[in-house]
Structures are given as structure tokens and as C-alpha cells.
């Protein structure tokens, strides 16, 4: 490994006994920073009143098997940017799985509810309608911009 090597992430079992979706990856510090920046670039585009998932972000940045890595990046996102709408990123079922990364356990829910999203039992109600799919939404945005500036 080179001078800026961070290490190796190994696939293994999760706490629930499932196979961890992470593949064995050797990442340099530069690779990790680029991956984190790609995640933040997606998250900053999630509009108020909508939410996305770790898996949808992973897929949008070209690494569909790294949703757990996206979760870890989001957990550390407050170090990167105080204005990043991290509360708009949840798990694939709409569960507020990242709530422990906030100042207090109810803050993530509070921020979502301030944007008009209803949360019950740590899960976003009407998840299918609230879900913002970056693969579709960003593509649609660029298509509209192309039509507008044509």
C-alpha cells in the first residue's frame, strides 16, 4: 500500500448474521474522500419534504453494494458540512436508522417533521411517495434543463 493508504475493508457477517454487502476494497485516502464527496453531492440535492436511502445513493454513485459505506459516510457527515440535510437519508424501508448520528435521538424525526414528513415508530409514513430516487430525479432534472436551454 502507498503512503496515503487507509486500509482494507473486509466483508464479513453483520450483527444479525447476514453476509455483509461490502466487498474487499483497498481504499486510498483520496478514494475515500472522492466517495464521500460523491455521497454529499447527492444528499445536498434531496429537496425538503423528500427523503432517500443509503442504497439509492450508493446505486447513484456507481457502487450499488456499498450502502453500508454510505451510512458510515453519513454518520461522519457533520464533520464535513453542518448544512448537509443528513436527516433526509434513511434506510431502504424508510426507517430512521441514522438517528444516533444527531445531537439527540429525536432530532432527525423533528427535522423531517418540520419539512412535512410524517414519522411514526421511527419510520417515514407513506415512504413510497416521500422517497426521492436520485437515479430518476437527477436524470429528470438534467433532461428538463436540456429542454429549457435548447
Given a cut of 90, whether residue 78 has pLDDT beyond it is no
**In this predicted model, which residue has the larger pLDDT, 149 or 128?**
128
* DSSP H/E element including 105: none
Question: Which residues are CB-contacts of 46 (< 8 A; sequence separation ≥ 6)?
Answer: 52, 85, 88, 89, 132, 134
Question: pLDDT category, 142, cuts 50, 70, 90?
Answer: low
- What is the pLDDT at residue 8? 36
Model's pTM, two decimal places? 0.76
- For the chain, give the number of residues: 150
Contact 5, 30 (CB under 8 A): no
Question: pLDDT category, 27, cuts 50, 70, 90?
Answer: low
- What is the pLDDT at residue 18? 54
The b/e string for 54-81 (b: 16+ C-beta within 10 A; e otherwise) is bbbbbbbbebeebbbbbbbbbeebeeee
Smallest CA-to-CA distance from 51 within 134, 122, 110 is with: 134
Amino acid at each position: 500500500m502507498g503512503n496515503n493508504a487507509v486500509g482494507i475493508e473486509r466483508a464479513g457477517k453483520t450483527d444479525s448474521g447476514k453476509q455483509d454487502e461490502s466487498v474487499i476494497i483497498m481504499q486510498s485516502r483520496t478514494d475515500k474522500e472522492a466517495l464521500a464527496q460523491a455521497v454529499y453531492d447527492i444528499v445536498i440535492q434531496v429537496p425538503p419534504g423528500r427523503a432517500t436511502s443509503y442504497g439509492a445513493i450508493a446505486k447513484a454513485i456507481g457502487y450499488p453494494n456499498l450502502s453500508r459505506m454510505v451510512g458510515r459516510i453519513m454518520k461522519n457527515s457533520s464533520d464535513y458540512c453542518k448544512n448537509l440535510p443528513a436527516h433526509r437519508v434513511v434506510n431502504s424501508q424508510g426507517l430512521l436508522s441514522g438517528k444516533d448520528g444527531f445531537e439527540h435521538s429525536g432530532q432527525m424525526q423533528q427535522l423531517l417533521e418540520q419539512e412535512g414528513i410524517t414519522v411514526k415508530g421511527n419510520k417515514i409514513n407513506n415512504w413510497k411517495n416521500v422517497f426521492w430516487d436520485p437515479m430518476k430525479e437527477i436524470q429528470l432534472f438534467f433532461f428538463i434543463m436540456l429542454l429549457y436551454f435548447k
